[in-house]
Every structure is written in structure tokens, then in C-alpha cells.
Amino acid sequence: MLKGLNLRAAFKRVKQNDGAPSTDNMTVAELQVHGWERCEIGKKELQSGTNRPMEVKLLEILNQIGGG
């Protein structure tokens, strides 16, 4: 996951999303600037075990057409 080739491949897949903002409203252009600045910090946090991921938000979608 931390290898440059994996990061480049992941960024390429994100970029193919036509620059649409993600759930945090960050565009591909912003990600390119912010991501590379943050990359080394994140890598060190993951390797040292100090990285603390944010909580995942749960969204429940109710089915209005029967069946549960």
C-alpha cells in the first residue's frame, strides 16, 4: 500500500473520475497538491502505528418498495 507505484496507480484511478470531488469535497487538483504534501507524514504514521483513521459514517437507506 505504501509503495510509490501503488500510490500512483490509486491516484490515476481517482483522476479518471473526471475530477469530481470526493465525499470530503476535495477535487483531484486539490488532492494532487495536498496528497503529495501529506504522503510522507501518512507513511510514517502507518509504519510507526500512530495513524488513527477517522470514524466511518453510517448511512441507512430505507427501502420504500417493500421487501425490507
Mean pLDDT within 42-50? 87
Confidence band, pLDDT 50/70/90 cuts, at residue 45: confident
**CA gap 30, 21 in Å, rounded:** 9
Under DSSP, the state recorded for 49 is T
Mean pLDDT within 8-26? 75
What is the predicted pLDDT for the residue at 2? 59
What is the predicted pLDDT for the residue at 62? 78
The torsion angle over the Cα atoms of residues 65, 66, 67 and 68, rounded to 10 degrees, is 100
